[in-house]
Every structure is written in C-alpha cells, then in structure tokens.
Amino acid sequence: MKNTALISTVVIAAALGGCASVKYGDPQAQETVNERFGSTDLQMTAKSMTESLLASPVIGEATAANKRPVLFVERIANKTDEHIDTESVLDSMTTKLLQSGRVRLVDMSRVESARSQLKFQNSDELVDPRTAIKFGQMIGAEYMYYGNLSSIVKEAGGTGDIYNKFTKTKSVYYKFTLKLMNLKTGLVEWQDEQEIRKTAKKGLLGM
C-alpha cells in the first residue's frame, strides 16, 4: 500500500509540476491562439505596408532618378486598449525597407548616443584627431515616416436563445494608418491603411 501511495504521489506531482514539452514552430505560421494582436498580424502588416510604400510614385520617381530617399521613422501611436509593441512593428517594416535597397534611414532614437560619441572624438586627448569624425556631416532626412494603430472591440452573447446564452463572441477590428511626409514641403506624399478583423467564440463554461 505504501508503494502504491508513493507511486500515486509521484504521478500527481509530475502532472501538477508539469513535465514541459517544448518544440520549435514555424515563425511564419498563422497564429490563432486568441483574438489579440499577434505575430501574424505584425508580419502581414509589415509586408503589406512596405510593399505599398515601395510601389508608391515618390519611391518610384526616386528610383528612376537613381536616388535613395532618406527617411526618419517616427513612432506609431498605439490608440488601442492593448499593450502592443508598435516599435517591433516598425522594426519589421524598416528591415524590409532597407533590404529593398531603395531607401536610406536615419535612426533618431540614437542621435544623443551619436552626439556623445562625436563630442568624445573631437575633445578627448585619447582620440587621434586625424581619425575623429567632424561635426556637421550627418545627412538630413527628406521624409518622415509615421502613423497610428487603432481598434474597435465588440462583444455579444450570454443572453437570448440557448446557443447565445452559453456562447460569447468577441470581434476586434484593427486599423493601421501610415504616412510619408515631405519635410521640405510638408506634403503627405504617401498614405495607406491595413485593416484586420478577428473574431473569437468561446463557451461561457470554458468550452
């Protein structure tokens, strides 16, 4: 009896403690865990918006003139109720833009770090002045790339007929809006939207 009890205890402990099973998955596979903004939405948005910008007249004309316009990226304002890493969305977009070889980017988030390094190079006796990079040589951006993310959430269920009484439906609509502004003229020369709608149904009893 003691042995049986010991074995049962070990089995229960293993079940509760969780013998974790981890495996790799395809990072490009469609994610359908829940209705919240996820990796598939990020990948789809980055691909769609990047292709739209690269196909726009402003980039097309620059490419025809053998030029690579310089962009600086402003943050994407998150107007949803979710904590969404919009910087990660921008990173995916800027990676694709740079890999296209058709634009150049200025990283404004590292300007102060660059300024500190230039001050060090031009004022510290440890640096050979012949190799120090002088101030006033950075290339100015021609365009600002910016936008916002908004969402509309609706829920239904839990009342009415027998089906709706025990089933809850949640619909989430996301809209990405991105723009490209000419810093010299102030004109918005490109703008596009990516819309995403996700619906989830869940039994109120956890089914």
Above pLDDT 70, what percent of the chain?
Answer: 75
Domain span at 78:
36-132+139-149+174-195
What local confidence, expressed as pLDDT, does residue 207 receive?
A: 47
Handedness of CA 199, 204, 206, 207 (dihedral sign): negative
Query: Does 2 fall in a domain?
Result: no
Query: Does 97 fall in a domain?
Result: yes
Query: Does 17 fall in a domain?
Result: no
The residue among 33, 38, 100 whose CA lies nearest residue 68 is 100
Query: Does 202 fall in a domain?
Result: no
How many structural domains compose the chain? 1
Please give the model's pTM, rounded to 2 decimal places: 0.73
Give residue 168's region: left, alpha or beta (phi > 0; psi -120 to 50).
beta
Give per-residue pLDDT as tens, 141-174: 999 999 999 888 887 765 555 555 567 787 888 8
Indicate the DSSP class of residue 157.
E
Query: Does 157 fall in a domain?
Result: no
Give per-residue pLDDT as tens, 90-148: 888 999 999 999 999 999 888 999 999 999 999 999 999 999 999 999 999 999 999 99
Helices (H), the chain: 2-17, 39-54, 57-64, 86-100, 111-123, 162-165
CA angle 32, 36, 40 (to 5 degrees): 50
Query: Does 8 fall in a domain?
Result: no
The domain that contains 107 carries what CATH number? 3.40.50
pLDDT band at residue 9 using 50, 70 and 90 as cut-offs = low
Query: Does 21 fall in a domain?
Result: no
The residue among 105, 107, 106, 101 whose CA lies nearest residue 66 is 101
Query: Does 74 fall in a domain?
Result: yes
